[in-house]
């Protein structure tokens, strides 16, 4: 079954029939993690780098921010049996959707926040498809752990 991960949302699964998908990864970042032994995977679609920008919103929806959403993604996968040392991590998004004219550089800031969190927690990214000017769709197949990206008008590309 296809499970859609909305904007500022997170889904995890250990059901072999599930495919997790998140659309509209422009300046937002999609983080897909997968444990090939436990067959557990999850996707987080976060919008902004730091919850300090709006603590009230972070309380209401921690998936909106990198610093609150990423730890929740890992914890929820651990609850289904995933182990940190086995996780495969793949990342997509962080575009400058206005062709680099975006004043706030949200895509770059989102990616920098992710790198900082992963560095602090000794998490390595296996593959990524970030930057540029195109929005992406990110898929994770729970049965196999395959992750792929679709950019409008292009073929799917496995990460």
Specify whether the CB–CB gap between 152 and 134 falls below 8 A: yes
Tell me how many domains the chain contains: 1
Any idea what the CATH number is for the domain that residue 80 is in? 3.30.1330.200
Weakly modelled stretches of the chain, pLDDT under 70: 98-103
Name the percent of the chain lying above pLDDT 90. Answer: 89
pLDDT digits (tens, 9 = 90+) for 77-123: 999 999 999 999 999 999 987 655 656 789 999 999 999 999 999 99
Whether 28 sits among the annotated catalytic residues: the reply is yes
State the pLDDT at residue 151: 93
Q: pLDDT tens for residues 86-97?
A: 999 999 999 987
Q: Catalytic: which of 5, 12, 19, 28?
A: 28
- CA-CA distance, 104 to 59, in Å (whole number)? 23
Which pTM does this prediction carry? 0.95
29-157-11-13 Cα dihedral, nearest 10 degrees: -150
Report the candidate in 136, 139, 129, 128 with the shortest Cα–Cα distance to residue 153.
Answer: 136
**What is the pLDDT, as a whole number, of residue 99?**
59
List the domain range (segments joined by +) for residue 144: 2-158
């Amino acid at each position: 079954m296809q499970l859609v991960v909305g904007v500022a949302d997170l889904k995890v699964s250990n059901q072999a029939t599930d495919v997790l998908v998140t659309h509209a990864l422009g300046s937002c970042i999609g983080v897909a993690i997968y444990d090939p032994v436990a067959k557990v995977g999850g996707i987080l679609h976060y919008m902004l780098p730091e919850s300090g920008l709006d603590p009230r919103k972070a309380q209401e929806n921690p998936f909106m921010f990198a610093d609150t959403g990423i730890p929740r993604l890992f914890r929820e996968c651990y609850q289904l049996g995933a182990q940190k040392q086995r996780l495969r991590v793949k990342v997509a998004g962080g575009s400058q959707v206005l062709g680099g004219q975006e004043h706030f550089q949200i895509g770059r800031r989102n990616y920098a926040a992710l790198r900082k969190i992963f560095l602090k927690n000794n998490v390595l990214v296996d593959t990524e498809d970030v930057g540029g000017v195109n929005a992406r769709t990110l898929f994770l197949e729970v049965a196999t752990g395959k992750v792929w990206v679709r950019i409008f008008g292009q073929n799917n590309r496995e990460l």
